[in-house]
Amino acid sequence: MPSATVNDFFIALTADSSSKDNLERIYTGLSKFVEVFNGDKSIRLCLVNNIYPSSVKNDLIAQIVSDCKATRTFLEVIIEFNLLTSFIESREFFLKKLRKLLGKVKIEVVTIDVNHEEKLELIKSSLENIWGTNLELSFKEDPGILGGLVLQVEDKYFDGSLLGKVNELKKINVKGDFNV
Amino acid sequence: MSEEINIASQLKFASQHLFNLIFFIGVLYYFLKDTIVKFFSNRSLKISREIQDANTIIETSQASYNITSQKVNLIDSELTELRNSIDSVTSRKTGEIIENANSVAKKIKIDTEDIIKLESLKLQYQVENNILSKALEVAQDEISKEITEERDSDLISSFLSEVKQNAISNS
């Protein structure tokens, strides 16, 4: 009998949760779990290590994902089936799949200053104008880009920074010709 | 008178002795004739044989000399041939060595020229890259000094318009 994969459980999870609110809760729960898993080494070690009993792992999951039973069950099952590592390795794929189901677009914006509210609003409204209002926006500060902004829209990369323009100049040689 | 008597006695004495001598010679001739003839005949034969032997030795020696001379001539000619052959081989080998040396020298020269060209190009690119890097560093410094909130906002607006156009054309 072929063993179940993470994708099988994921399909079961999303098929059961037909309403958008449920999917939203699942997405939030999984995102939170991934964030905590990435950020906390002790939790990571506890969850992937087989010497800890399932009850301890389930308690941890219940603490991390407290407000979504379906997500909790999903995580408990994949831990039970020793599929957590597979899920973690493909986490971006599953989160992207959920975002697609929700019609949500994840955008990471890099600017030189994240404290200028007016500018952030301008960026947000422009991005909503392009990709709609259902956005998962995150802002990151990097003074190294000198000016402008860098966008990571799902798996697409847009570089509108001054550093990017300066780097383009590196393709030009001293005579002013482009290096092929 | 006494002198005459003396001469006559002397002649008598001489004739007596001469007769004795002739008689003695006749006796000797009679008894020793065959022996002496035989002795000299034997002697003559012996000398003839010795002369013949000597002639034979001379002929043998002459033949040996001729053979040896021929061999010496042959050796001389072989030596000459060998010298000529050695000269020819030496000359050919020397030519080959010189030719090889010239070919190797030419190759080394070409290789060295290529290496010099490549190294020159490499250095040129390094210098160009260094100049560009310095220029870009200066440009980055200048940009970071010159950038203001207003300019940054303009840049962002312009870039987002481009992204929008791009998104519209892609959709």
State the DSSP H helix or E strand holding residue B171, giving kind and residue range, or none if neither: none
Interface test with B, best of A114, A159, A166, A180 (most B CBs within 10 A): A166
Of A85-94, A157-166, B5-14, B99-108, where does the model show the most confidence?
A: B99-108
Whether residue B123 lies inside any domain: the answer is: yes
Complex ipTM value: 0.73
Average pLDDT over residues B26-38: 91
The better pLDDT of the pair B128, A172 is held by B128
Count CB-CB contacts under 10 A for residue A130.
20
Whether residue B166 lies inside any domain: the answer is: no
Whether residue B167 lies inside any domain: the answer is: no
B1: three-class secondary structure by DSSP? coil
B22: three-class secondary structure by DSSP? helix
User: pLDDT (tens digit, 9 = 90+) per residue, A119-130?
Assistant: 888 888 888 888
| pLDDT value of position A136 | 87
| pLDDT value of position B129 | 83
Q: Does B57 touch chain A (CB under 8 A)?
A: no
User: pLDDT (tens digit, 9 = 90+) per residue, B56-88?
Assistant: 999 999 999 999 999 999 999 999 999 999 999
Residue of B nearest to A120 (CA): B153
Q: Residue B143: which domain range?
A: 2-156
**What is A104-175's CATH number, 1.10.3470, 3.40.30, 3.40.1350, 3.30.70?**
3.40.30
Q: Does A112 touch chain B (CB under 8 A)?
A: yes
Residue of A nearest to B144 (CA): A146
Of A65-74, A83-92, A104-113, B61-70, where does the model show the most confidence?
A: B61-70
Count of CB pairs separated by less than 8 Å, A with B: 73
Residues of B in contact with A162 (CB under 8 A): 143, 147, 155
Count of domains in chain B? 1
Instruction: With a cut of 50, say whether residue B152 has pLDDT above it.
Output: yes
